[in-house]
Amino acid sequence: MIEFNDVPSPFCGIGTDDLSIQVDGLSLKVLTNGCSVNTPLFEHPITDTEARVKGQPVCLEDAIAAAAALLRSSQQALFGGCATDVNGMRALLSLADNTGAFLENLNFAGARNNFLALQDSGWMNTTLAEVKNRCDVLLIIGTDLEQFAPRFFERYLWTDAMFLPDSSQRQIIYLGKAPSGQAATSPTGKAPRIIDCAPEDLPEVLAVLRALVKKQPIRAEQVANLAIADLSTLAEQLSTAKYGVVTWLAGAFDKAHGELSVQMLSEMIKDLNANTRCSGLPLSGKEGDQTANQVCGWTTGYPARLSFNQGYPEYDPFLYDSTQLLANNEVDTLVWVHAFNATALPPVTKLPTLVIGRSGMQFDTEPEVYIPVGTPGIDHTGHAYRMDNVVAIRLKKLRDSGLPSTADVLHRIQLAL
């Protein structure tokens, strides 16, 4: 048995890197600093190490050959999932470039709300250490933060802060969603302020909030059943904060005006910065989304919803939606890559499918080729991005499972082509 300390997690998105994990052969046990997101994903057992072709166990070499044959006979492949580490994404992009494929990270539909706002007007954002040391007012929009990241409050708010005399006095405000637990209540018992409304009302509420921040006159007394006076107090809290932070989960917004909500918030933050400091903090970093977008960004110039069909990368946040591509029969082969989560299965399709997935995937319909791979940060070293865009974490190897990495498998498929 070996014990690893200061283990970083590629799963939770908030870059926890203080886990202690006990390794006994191939089985892992989180000893300290686990949470409901990280612990199951670290402890998930290895149940299969052999690749399969048409459901039959084969050696890795034969599986690679079958995968290459599948791609060779394909006119137009789609790479879905795209949930892996930096080296895995590098190999995936190389193969997609080589085969003229479509490519999409599985969280793109939500992330699109952020990218559309970013690419239209931009934003002012911050990172987790700034939140921890500077944030005196945290506004959480439309999401249950402790469900997204159970240790967020413990690690980044109810902790020592360089520039706050008493970090337990930070003001926490939920707008558009109430928290499911008590994590947002400070150690001294200070409860968060909750301004609840329906998700579909958020765009309107945010528009009014921005107007109030800009001191525009509002004649109505209510918006979406909320008293304008309550929103006025919130606007005042943000305006008088020394370092306010506004956080949101792009995928949690109502579909109709998701990108406009992100834009409304980002422009409100810019307005606040005319006089004080305030920053955005988009939540992400799960299922390899931030990693996929970063590596796609430097390799192609675009985020992770792309086509290489013309021989060069093209980005269309709407047209290259994998759900649509599959529904419209615009692709003839699906390659599903997910090295983090054995329960993240490919979409249901009749198309021939190659799955490069975390060991233990249970399929309703067996794919043509399944190659189990190691998990970055457990079975091999690697790099992954956490939610705040700037920080890549170095992942450790904790056990010797013999499972190949995503990058290994994709390289070998490319060589076999």
Partner 1 sequence: MLTKLTGGTIYDPANGIAGQQHDIYIQDGRIVNPPTADQAIDQEYNLQGKVVMSGAIDMHTHIGGGKGNIARMLMPEDHRADPVARTHICRSGCGHAMPSTFITGYRYAEMGYTSCFEPAILPINARQAHMEMADIPIIDKGGYVMLGSDDYLLRMLTAKKDQQAINDYVAWTIQAAKAIGVKVVNPGGINAFKFNQRKLDLDEQNNHYGVTPREILHVLATAVKAIGVSHPLHVHGCNLGVPGNMHTTLDTIQGMAGLPMHLTHIQFHSYGTEGDFKFSSGAAQIAEAINKNKNITIDVGQVLFGQTVTASGDNMRQHANHKHANPNKWVTMDIECDAGCGVVPFKYKDQNFVNALQWAIGLETFLLVDDPWRIFLTTDHPNGAPFTSYPHLIRLLMDKSFRNDMLATLHPEAQKMTTLASIDREYSLNEIAIMTRAGAAKLIGLKDRGGLSAGNWADITVYTEHSNRELMFTKPDYVFKDGTLVVLNGSVVATPWGTTHTIKPNYDASVEKELQSYFDRYLTMKLGNFKMSDDEITEDGRGHITVHPLAGDVA
Residues that bind partner 1 (CB under 8 A): 6, 8, 15, 17-18, 86-87, 90, 94, 97-98, 115, 118-130, 132-134, 155-156, 160-163, 242-243, 273, 276-277, 279, 293-294, 297-303, 308, 310-315, 381, 383, 389-394
∠ CA 190-193-195, nearest 5°, is 165
Q: How far is the CB of 206 from partner 1 (least distance, A)?
A: 19
Which of 57, 297 has the CB closer to partner 1?
A: 297
Q: How far is the CB of 259 from partner 1 (least distance, A)?
A: 13
Q: How far is the CB of 334 from partner 1 (least distance, A)?
A: 22
Do residues 77 and 331 make contact, with C-beta atoms less than 8 angstroms apart?
Answer: yes
Which of 127, 349 has the CB closer to partner 1?
A: 127
Q: Which amino acid is at 177?
A: K
Which of 120, 200 has the CB closer to partner 1?
A: 120
- CA atoms 341, 146, 151, 385: torsion sign: positive
Q: Which helix (H) or strand (E) holds 255?
A: none
Which of 309, 349 has the CB closer to partner 1?
A: 309
Q: How far is the CB of 386 from partner 1 (least distance, A)?
A: 9
Tokens of 56: 């039959």
Which of 88, 251 has the CB closer to partner 1?
A: 88
Characterize the bridge pairing of strands 102-104 and 77-83.
parallel
Which of 3, 120 has the CB closer to partner 1?
A: 120
Q: Residues 6 or more apart from 231 whose CB is under 8 A from it?
A: 195, 205, 208, 209, 212, 223
Q: How far is the CB of 15 from partner 1 (least distance, A)?
A: 6
Which of 125, 171 has the CB closer to partner 1?
A: 125
Do residues 382 and 405 make contact, with C-beta atoms less than 8 angstroms apart?
Answer: yes
Q: How far is the CB of 289 from partner 1 (least distance, A)?
A: 13
Burial readout 340-373 (b: 16 or more C-beta within 10 A, e: otherwise): bbbebbbbebebbbbbbbbbebeeeeebbbbbbb
Q: How far is the CB of 226 from partner 1 (least distance, A)?
A: 30
- CA atoms 52, 56, 57, 58: torsion sign: negative
Burial readout 113-137 (b: 16 or more C-beta within 10 A, e: otherwise): bbbbbbeeeebebbbbebbbbbbbb
Do residues 18 and 396 make contact, with C-beta atoms less than 8 angstroms apart?
Answer: no
- Alpha carbon distances (Å) from 258 to 200, 201, 281: 10, 11, 16
Q: How far is the CB of 253 from partner 1 (least distance, A)?
A: 20
Q: How far is the CB of 121 from partner 1 (least distance, A)?
A: 5
Which of 130, 287 has the CB closer to partner 1?
A: 130
Which of 9, 261 has the CB closer to partner 1?
A: 9
Euclidean distance between CA atoms 299 and 322, whole angstroms: 20
Closest CA to 287 of 168, 96, 109: 109
Helix axes 228-240, 258-272, angle to 10 degrees: 50
Which of 18, 62 has the CB closer to partner 1?
A: 18
Do residues 137 and 241 make contact, with C-beta atoms less than 8 angstroms apart?
Answer: yes
Q: How far is the CB of 320 from partner 1 (least distance, A)?
A: 13
* 28 bridge partner residues: 23
Q: How far is the CB of 393 from partner 1 (least distance, A)?
A: 7
Which of 190, 270 has the CB closer to partner 1?
A: 270
269: alpha, beta or left? (left if phi > 0; alpha if psi -120 to 50): alpha
Do residues 131 and 245 make contact, with C-beta atoms less than 8 angstroms apart?
Answer: yes
